[in-house]
Amino acid sequence: MTIENACHSHPWTEKTMLSCLAGRYFNLAAFKGDEMLGFYIGEQAGPDYTLMDICVAPSHQGQGIAKQLLDAFIHHGEQQHAENLFLEVRESNTRAIALYERAGFSHMSVRKNYYPTATGNEDAILMGLTLRF
């Protein structure tokens, strides 16, 4: 929760986080010794996987950890023979969008006013990656 709270203006609640650690959800964390540097949470829905959350502690951002976590998410999808990978990202999060584009994700659509902000709402960019075997 410490990383979640540090990374998001409107973080998940602890209840939501705990519910995403079971069932059709899967996750991976990056550690240095005993210190968690970042994590992702994914969800399986039929043959498709969605990246629900990905966070890297602010003190460790810019070191390639998010790329490693995203690569692991993609690799997991490939290993499980997922057909498509999806994610949503705030339109203002240009660093994340660039990371996703470099990994092969493309823009699919926009969800208007999807994310809350301090002054209203912000659009979400829906991105996808079709896996080929």
Rounded-to-integer distance, Cα 50 and Cα 29, Å:
17
88 catalytic? Reply is yes
Per the listing, tokens 């959350």 go with: 53
106-117: strand order across its sheet: 25-32, 35-45, 48-56, 84-90, 120-130, 106-117
Residue 93 marked in a binding site: yes
Of 14, 100, 101, 114, which residue is the catalytic one? 100
Rounded-to-integer distance, Cα 118 and Cα 8, Å:
12
Of 40, 49, 88, 115, which residue is the catalytic one? 88
Rounded-to-integer distance, Cα 10 and Cα 89, Å:
13
Q: List the catalytic residues.
A: 88, 100
Q: List residues forming the annotated binding site.
A: 93
Residues belonging to the binding site for acetyl-CoA are 93
